[in-house]
Structures are given as C-alpha cells and as structure tokens.
C-alpha cells in the first residue's frame, strides 16, 4: 500500500498488484493472485465508484425532475403524432414490395415444388391477386396517414392476403416476412385509427398519384429488364405456363396500369363540393356561441366579418379561416370541444384538398402541435409574443 501511494498512480494500479504478486508468489499461483486482485478492485474501487456516480447523478437530476418529465411527455406526444405517418410509409413500401415481387422471375425449384402442391391455375391467380393487393396498398397508405378506420381494416386484410398469396405464387417467404414485420405495429396501434370517414373524402390529387405512378413505372421497368430475353408477342398476355412468368407480369402490369389511368379521369368528372365562403346568419350565431366559451381572446377575430366557418358534425367546434389564393388560412387553433379537434382538423384538410386548396394555420398553441405534426404540416416559428404587465 505504501509503494502504491508513493507511485502517485490512482489506486496504486499496477504497482500494488505487481508487488503483491511478487511477494506472495511462493505461496499462491499466478491465476489465484490475478483472481483475488480483480475481486479486490471490484469490491473496493469499481463498486463504490458506480454507487457514488448514481447518487451524484440522482442529486443533479432531482432539481430538474419537472423538466425531464416534461421532455419525456413531449417526446411521447410527438412520437404518437408521427406514428400513423410512419406506418403509412410502411404500408406504401409493402405495396411496392408486392409489385416488385410480381415483376421478377420466381425461383425454379420453388415453383416446381408449388406445382406439386397446388394446381397451376392457383399459382397464376395468386400472382395476379398479389400484384393487385400491392396496388391497392399504395392507395391505402394515404388512408392510414389520415387515421381512417376503414383504411386500417382494409390494409390488415390486404396484408394478410398478401402474405398468403406470396407463399402460394412461389413460396416467396421473404416478401411474406416483410409484410408480417410491417403488419405487427399496425395491429398494435389499431386504437390510433379511429376516424370514421370515406376513403375518397379527400379526393384524388395528382401529387398523391405521382408516387403511385413512380412505383408502377419502376415495376414495369423491372419486369421488362427481368424478362428482357423473353419473346413477346400480341398473344403473350394470354399464355399460361409455369416455365415463364413473363405473361404473368404482362397481365398484372397492363391491368394495374389501366386502373391507374382511370383514376385521374374520375377526378375530371367529379362534381367539386364547396363551402359557402359567406356565412349565413345561423353560422354566425353558432360561431358566436362557440367563441364566447373560448378562453382565448383572439377567438373573437372569428366575428370580424371577413372569415368563413367550418363546423364539426355536432356543431360544438369550429375552425374559422380566410381564403387567399390556393390557401385556406386558419387563425389560431380550432375552437370548442377539444375532443373533436383532431377529427375537425382532418375533415377541414380533406375539404380543402377536395377544393384544390392547402391549409395553413397561423399562431397556433404549443399544446396542439401534435395535431399539426400528425397532418404532416411544417412548423415555422415567426416572431415572439410579449407579455407586458399592465399594473
């Protein structure tokens, strides 16, 4: 111990150990000495160091306990807000996986094994239905983002079908595993998808069709590249054979491409609903009753006469906004019953998209930020609010 202290090495590390090993070597073996010295270091040095670090860390964090708890709650709310958008990306990726799988050749030994187990007609139909399920999942991803209950139900059904069809069309267990991995968080978060609305309530916009078109074009190119050595003819699409999957790819691609082209045409023939930009007397009375119950003084800006109103189905909540170019500008947060804010904001956004408009919220509160993050809106801080004591 004296030599270790004189060495000025922390804990006498090395000096004390070597001295003891040399001094006690006539009575103990080197292995026994090393084990004893390691135990000594753990008991008298490492354990007290860890204990003191925990005590000191707890003492430092205790005064900041509220801040830590607030940060944890904010993180939790933010994650819950982005949970549906993350899952929507996964659903879209699942659809792309099924389409790309249908555009590539199957493994010969797997197809031969499946042909022994099931008829070729089942394999052919499974291939087409698998691609169709992938095509539909591309569109359902938007419904998942909007937290629609019907979209969640259809997505689970299609992904379960996609798992079975992937195995039937050629024992493609890799694709099936991907679908399982994405479907499990969907099932776990089923309570988050509680909105009752139609799938097409937000209309069909070209910016939503663009990613679908990119995936379809990529799938078509991948199929052409994969089967570039195959001989195509006008009758290839009618061929049924296990040896080549090129006709399977052609049938699926032609059918899904035709369906994708029909959807934009439906938008041209759809009657565009609109919100009366000039509120009626009944609207003003309803807005007044909601406004006077709001604790926010800026809510009375709704009654200046230059705003339009969008009410919840119950009439207990509303959003007041003004139109400027391609935007509907909302002043502040929704007013009324907070339980209806999420559905009200989503319905308002869907109505704006049907009318070819985009939504902008100005001067929103921090407590409602998860609502806007959930809709994929960008948060921009503009200026500051000053609190001036008047007394």
Alpha-carbon gap, residue 334 to 162, rounded angstroms: 40
Buried b (16+ CB within 10 A) or exposed e, 282-319: ebeebbeebbeebeeeebeebeeeebbbbbbeeebbbb
Q: Is the four-CA dihedral 214, 92, 258, 106 of positive or negative sign?
A: positive
Alpha-carbon gap, residue 353 to 186, rounded angstroms: 26
Please, where are the H alpha helices in the chain?
2-6, 15-24, 30-41, 47-61, 65-102, 108-117, 120-145, 149-168, 173-188, 206-226, 246-268, 281-292, 341-354, 369-374
- Per-residue pLDDT, 160: 92
Q: Is the four-CA dihedral 305, 328, 266, 201 of positive or negative sign?
A: negative
Which has more confidence, 50 or 77? 50
Alpha-carbon gap, residue 156 to 104, rounded angstroms: 25
Cβ neighbours of residue 346 closer than 8 Å, sequence gap 6 or more:
146, 147, 195, 197, 375
Is the pLDDT confidence value at 283 over 50?
A: yes
Is the pLDDT confidence value at 67 over 70?
A: no
Maximum average pLDDT range among 30-34, 78-82, 146-150: 146-150
The mean-pLDDT minimum among 8-12, 182-186, 319-323, 343-347 falls in 8-12
- Per-residue pLDDT, 81: 52
Please give the backbone phi and psi of residue 323, each rounded to the nearest 5 degrees, phi first: -95, 135
Average pLDDT over residues 308-326: 87
- Per-residue pLDDT, 238: 46
End-to-end, the C-alpha distance of the chain in Å comes to: 70
Residue 168 — pLDDT band, cuts 50, 70, 90?
A: confident
Residue 8 — pLDDT band, cuts 50, 70, 90?
A: very low
Average pLDDT over residues 271-297: 76
Average pLDDT, whole number, for the chain?
74
Q: What is the pLDDT of residues 116-159, one digit of tens each?
A: 787 777 877 888 888 888 888 988 888 888 888 888 889 999 99
Look up residue 148 and give its DSSP letter: B
- Per-residue pLDDT, 247: 59
User: What HEC string does 282-299 produce?
Assistant: HHHHHHHHHHHCCCCHHH
Is the pLDDT confidence value at 198 over 70?
A: no
Which has more confidence, 258 or 359? 359
Count the neighbouring beta carbons within 10 Å of the beta carbon of residue 190.
12
The mean-pLDDT minimum among 102-116, 176-190, 291-305 falls in 102-116
Instruction: Count CA atoms within 13 Å of residue 56 on its CB side.
Output: 6
Retrieve residue 30's tokens.
């080197």
Average pLDDT over residues 230-245: 47
Average pLDDT over residues 374-390: 77
The SS3 call for residue 361 is: strand
Alpha-carbon gap, residue 249 to 89, rounded angstroms: 25
* Cα of 189 vs its chain's centroid, Å: 11
The SS3 call for residue 379 is: coil
Is the pLDDT confidence value at 237 over 50?
A: no
The mean-pLDDT minimum among 31-45, 54-68, 300-314, 368-382 falls in 54-68
Look up residue 321 and give its DSSP letter: E
- Per-residue pLDDT, 40: 72
- Per-residue pLDDT, 203: 58
Q: Which domains does the chain have, with CATH numbers?
A: 2-61 (no CATH), 77-268 (no CATH), 281-374 (3.40.630)
Residue 31 — pLDDT band, cuts 50, 70, 90?
A: low
Cβ neighbours of residue 60 closer than 8 Å, sequence gap 6 or more:
none
């Amino acid at each position: 111990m004296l030599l270790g202290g004189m060495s000025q090495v922390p804990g006498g590390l090395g000096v004390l150990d070597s001295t003891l090993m040399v001094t006690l070597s006539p009575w103990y073996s080197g292995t026994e000495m090393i084990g004893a010295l390691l135990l000594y270091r753990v008991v008298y040095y490492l354990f007290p160091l860890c204990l003191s670090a925990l005590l000191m860390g707890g003492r430092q964090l205790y005064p900041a306990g509220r801040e830590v708890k607030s940060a944890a709650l904010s993180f939790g709310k933010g994650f819950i807000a982005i949970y549906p958008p993350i899952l929507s990306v996964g659903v879209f990726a699942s659809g792309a996986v099924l389409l790309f799988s249908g555009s590539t050749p199957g493994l010969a030994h797997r197809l031969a094994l499946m042909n022994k187990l099931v008829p070729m007609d089942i394999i052919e139909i499974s291939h087409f239905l698998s691609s169709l399920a992938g095509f539909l999942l591309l569109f359902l991803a938007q419904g998942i983002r909007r937290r629609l209950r019907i979209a969640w139900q259809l997505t689970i059904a299609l992904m379960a079908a996609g798992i079975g069809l992937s195995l039937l069309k050629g024992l493609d267990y890799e694709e099936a595993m991907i679908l399982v991995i994405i479907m499990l968080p969907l099932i776990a978060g089923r309570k988050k998808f509680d909105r009752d609305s139609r799938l097409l309530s937000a209309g069909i916009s070209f910016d939503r069709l663009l990613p679908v078109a990119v995936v379809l074009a990529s799938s078509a190119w991948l199929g052409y590249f994969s089967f570039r050595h195959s001989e195509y003819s006008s009758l290839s699409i009618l061929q049924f054979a296990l040896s080549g999957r090129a006709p399977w790819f052609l049938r699926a691609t032609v059918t899904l491409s035709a369906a994708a082209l029909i959807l934009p045409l439906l938008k041209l023939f759809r009657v565009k609903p609109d919100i009366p930009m000039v509120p009626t007397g009944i609207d003003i009375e309803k807005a007044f009753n909601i406004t006077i119950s709001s604790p926010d003084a800026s809510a009375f800006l709704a009654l200046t006469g230059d705003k339009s109103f969008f009410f919840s189905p119950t009439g207990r909540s509303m959003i007041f906004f003004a139109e400027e170019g391609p935007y509907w500008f909302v002043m502040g947060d929704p007013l009324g019953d907070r339980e209806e804010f999420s559905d009200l904001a989503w319905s308002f956004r869907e109505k704006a998209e049907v009318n070819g408009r985009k939504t902008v919220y100005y001067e929103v509160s921090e407590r409602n930020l998860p609502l806007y993050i959930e809709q994929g809106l960008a948060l921009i801080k503009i200026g500051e609010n000053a609190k001036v004591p008047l007394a």
